[in-house]
Amino acid sequence: MIGKLKGVVAAEEPPVVTLDVGGVGYEVQIPAGTLGRARSSEDEVELWVHTVVRADALELFGFSDEGERRIFRLLINVPNVGPRTALGVMSALTTRDLAQAIRAGDAARLTKVPGIGKKTAERLVLELKDKLATLVTGLELGHESDPKRLPPSAERPGDARTRLLSALTNMGYRPAEAERAVQALGQRVGAEPLGDLLREALAELSA
Q: Looking at residue 43, which CATH number applies to its domain?
A: 2.40.50.140
How many domains, the chain? 3
Q: Looking at residue 108, which CATH number applies to its domain?
A: 1.10.150.20
* Same domain flag for 8 and 51: yes
H or E element in which residue 6 lies = strand 4-13
Task: Write down the pLDDT at residue 137.
Answer: 59
Mean pLDDT in consecutive groups of 10 residues from the start of the chain, 207 residues: 92 91 95 84 90 89 92 92 91 84 89 88 89 65 41 52 75 77 86 78 77
Instruction: Give the chain's length.
Output: 207
Structural domain containing residue 57: 4-63
Task: Write down the pLDDT at residue 171.
Answer: 64
d(CA 174, CA 67): 31
Quick check: is 164 in a domain?
yes
Task: Write down the pLDDT at residue 165.
Answer: 80
Quick check: is 26 in a domain?
yes
pTM confidence score: 0.68
Quick check: is 151 in a domain?
no
**Domain closes at, from 99, 121, 143:** 143
Task: Write down the pLDDT at residue 24.
Answer: 96
**Domain closes at, from 103, 121, 143:** 143
Q: Can you give the C-alpha Rg of the chain in angstroms?
A: 17
* Same domain flag for 76 and 56: no
- Least Cα distance to 116 among 148, 161, 74, 84 occurs for 84
Cβ pair 25, 7 in contact under 8 A: no
